[in-house]
Amino acid sequence: MNGKPTEKTNTERTRTAPIRLQRWHICVRGVVQGLGFRPFVYRLATGLGLSGWVQNTPEGVAIEVQGPPASLETFLLSLESRSPPLSRLQSITVGERPLENETTFTIRTSRDDTRPRVLVLPDIATCSDCLKELFDPADRRYRYPFINCTFCGPRFSIIRRLPYDRPNTTMRKFIMCDQCRAEYEDPTNRRFHAQPNACPRCGPRLELWDARGKILARDDEALRAAASAVRKGRILALKGIGGFQLIVDARQPEAVTELRRRKHRAEKPFALMYPDLQTVSRDCRVSPLEKNLLLSAQAPIVLLQRRIDGGLFADPESCVLAPRNPWLGVMLPYSPLHHLLLHELGFPIVATSGNLSEEPICIDEREALHRLHGIADLFLVHDRPIQRHVDDSVVCVVQNHIVVLRRARGYAPLPLQAPRLRVPRPLAATGAHLKNTVGLVQGENFFISQHVGDLSTEAALQAHRSAFDDLRRIYHADLHAIACDLHPDYASTDTAKRAHRPLVPVQHHHAHIAAVLGEHRLAGPVLGV
């Protein structure tokens, strides 16, 4: 030995300890279907190098992810902090599972073998990306009035049952073309599993009918002809997201007065739809909070103070839209069809419910021909069926707080949360005789139906029973009992009796006070005046 380091003739191999893996099963409950949650999970998992799968279930969304514990922790934290804007996560449960021999992450076909616990999403106003495509001449959906994606479009008005997949919606009859199918199946695409996804080649189409149902024009020609008729002061019945609206030029007092006469609506204010926020600000005072409401995904009718220093409707005494009323009910276009129509017109229109006073709005074009006969001059219709009527919501701002006056499109049927509400078995409530809605309590969720209205006509009573049956069917609710009005002759009480479940009659004024407690999240003893 000469003291020199011995040279190694064999290559040294560095041995490292194998990476420890774990597999987690995650169940997410809340508003997690129909808004891009699974593509979000897919991108999150693949970005972290995790394997596993994600799947819609009646409970919400089920996820299994496999990888290093640190990556799984990052995945779980991101699941809560980076979820899609319209999602609402009520609970996340995590459990460990045995490892599996897999290297990829996939999106599985939905499972629907148990009682639904997932929340149904409301109809959502058109998003900015779809609007850009709608008015881009180079886009294949240019001026297509049914453009939508995972982040916008119809939901509650088209769903028939859970889980929220295309065969369970009124879009099931429209077979996607190759391009739409490719978008639908691509997890990186904005339209991945967007159930109403369609284009001019494969989706719903517009038609303009006369008062007898004769087709006058189709597609874009129908829309332009309808806009021309509105400019001339004619009354248009438009099939929207959740039912028909009656449209007339708000600037023409004679046309508005004629609509009042035909609709038997003497003085009750009409809702207005404006082309954009700039034209709203010309006629109304708009606070920052009111602006946010107008531009929100819910896009409700917002009660705004009319300007008395100018604008089209400055004098409340002479304004036939809302006689002797300092407020105007205003909304912005919320569907592609509305955007196209208001883009053509460039001025505010009356957009009121397509019905006679005290009746529910029409949802079927043939029904509309009959029920709106003598009211509408023309009918702008399409062939996408509406599963249930959904009126426009109405809100106002009081002392910088949002007050929902009519809870419908954009809000229903998302549940409300109330203190100590959780019940072991489902309960229902059939509501009062006037300004009716239906309620369902299941677990920790209190579901309120869309606005039904006054139950003074046979059509309204049928709509009430449909709303009641709807909530029970969607959520597979085996009712333990039904709360109803103590008045034995109310139509809503009769609906409760027909269900053949134990009844809990509630005195009318007690119900009013309880509703106020629930709205303001109060639980203590109160005096109702």
Spatial neighbors of 513 by CB under 8 A, at least 6 apart, are 526, 528
What would the mean pLDDT of 101-128 be, rounded to a whole number? 84
Structure tokens at 70: 């640190």
On the question of pLDDT at 273 being above 50, the answer is yes
More confident residue, 462 or 445: 462
Region of poorest pLDDT, from 15-24, 25-34, 46-55, 109-118: 109-118
On the question of pLDDT at 307 being above 50, the answer is yes
**Are residues 444 and 373 both part of a single domain?**
no
What percentage of the chain has pLDDT greater than the value 90?
Answer: 72
On the question of pLDDT at 12 being above 60, the answer is no
Residue 297 placed within a domain = yes
On the question of pLDDT at 9 being above 90, the answer is no
Q: Residue 110 — very low, low, confident or very high, per pLDDT cuts 50/70/90?
A: confident
Residue 371 placed within a domain = yes
**Are residues 306 and 218 both part of a single domain?**
yes
Mean model confidence pLDDT for the chain = 91
pLDDT single digits (tens) 204-225? 999 999 999 999 999 999 999 9
Instruction: Indicate which CATH number applies to the domain containing 502.
Output: 3.30.420.360
Q: Are 448 and 407 in contact (CB under 8 A)?
A: yes
Q: Tell me what pLDDT residue 7 has.
A: 45
Q: Point out the domain boundary residue: 42, 72, 107.
A: 107
Structure tokens at 504: 């809990």
On the question of pLDDT at 369 being above 50, the answer is yes
Residue matched to tokens 């009318």: 508
**Are residues 356 and 449 both part of a single domain?**
no
Region of poorest pLDDT, from 5-14, 152-161, 255-264: 5-14
Q: Tell me what pLDDT residue 5 has.
A: 40
What is the spatial distance between Cα 108 and Cα 61, in angstroms, rounded to a whole number? 11
pLDDT single digits (tens) 379-411? 999 999 999 999 999 999 999 999 999 999 999
**Are residues 98 and 225 both part of a single domain?**
no
**Are residues 377 and 419 both part of a single domain?**
no
**Are residues 218 and 316 both part of a single domain?**
yes
Residue 7 placed within a domain = no
**Are residues 288 and 435 both part of a single domain?**
no
Q: Residue 229 — very low, low, confident or very high, per pLDDT cuts 50/70/90?
A: very high
Q: Tell me what pLDDT residue 247 has.
A: 98
Q: Tell me what pLDDT residue 444 has.
A: 80
Surface-to-core class of residue 306, CB atoms within 10 Å of its CB (0-12 exposed, 13-18 middle, 19+ buried): buried
Number of domains in the chain: 3
Instruction: Indicate which CATH number applies to the domain containing 257.
Output: 3.90.870.40
Structure tokens at 312: 């089209």
**Are residues 277 and 373 both part of a single domain?**
yes
**Are residues 325 and 464 both part of a single domain?**
no
On the question of pLDDT at 315 being above 80, the answer is no
What would the mean pLDDT of 293-303 be, rounded to a whole number? 97
What is the spatial distance between Cα 437 and Cα 451, in angstroms, rounded to a whole number? 5
Q: Point out the domain boundary residue: 107, 136, 168.
A: 107
Q: Tell me what pLDDT residue 419 has.
A: 53
**Are residues 263 and 367 both part of a single domain?**
yes
**Are residues 350 and 421 both part of a single domain?**
no
Other beta carbons within 10 angstroms of residue 100's beta carbon come to 12
Q: Helix, strand, or coil here: 456? A: coil
Residue 408 placed within a domain = no
Q: For 68-127, list the strands marked E by DSSP.
A: 88-97, 105-107
On the question of pLDDT at 87 being above 90, the answer is no
On the question of pLDDT at 6 being above 70, the answer is no
Structure tokens at 119: 């929340």
Q: Tell me what pLDDT residue 292 has.
A: 97
On the question of pLDDT at 308 being above 60, the answer is yes
What would the mean pLDDT of 332-348 be, rounded to a whole number? 98
Domain assignment of residue 496, given as a range: 415-519
Q: Tell me what pLDDT residue 17 has.
A: 55
On the question of pLDDT at 235 being above 70, the answer is yes
Give the DSSP H or E segment for 424.
strand 423-429
* Chain Cα centroid distance, residue 46: 30
**Are residues 318 and 425 both part of a single domain?**
no
On the question of pLDDT at 2 being above 60, the answer is no
Q: Residue 116 — very low, low, confident or very high, per pLDDT cuts 50/70/90?
A: low
Instruction: Indicate which CATH number applies to the domain containing 85.
Output: 3.30.70.100
Residue 155 placed within a domain = no
Q: Point out the domain boundary residue: 71, 92, 107.
A: 107
Residue 401 placed within a domain = no
Residue 68 placed within a domain = yes
On the question of pLDDT at 16 being above 50, the answer is yes
What is the spatial distance between Cα 408 and Cα 414, in angstroms, rounded to a whole number? 10
Alpha-carbon dihedral 519, 85, 141, 165, rounded to 10 degrees: -80
Q: Residue 111 — very low, low, confident or very high, per pLDDT cuts 50/70/90?
A: confident
On the question of pLDDT at 162 being above 90, the answer is no
For residue 161, give the DSSP letter: S
Give the global pTM.
0.88
Residue 74 placed within a domain = yes
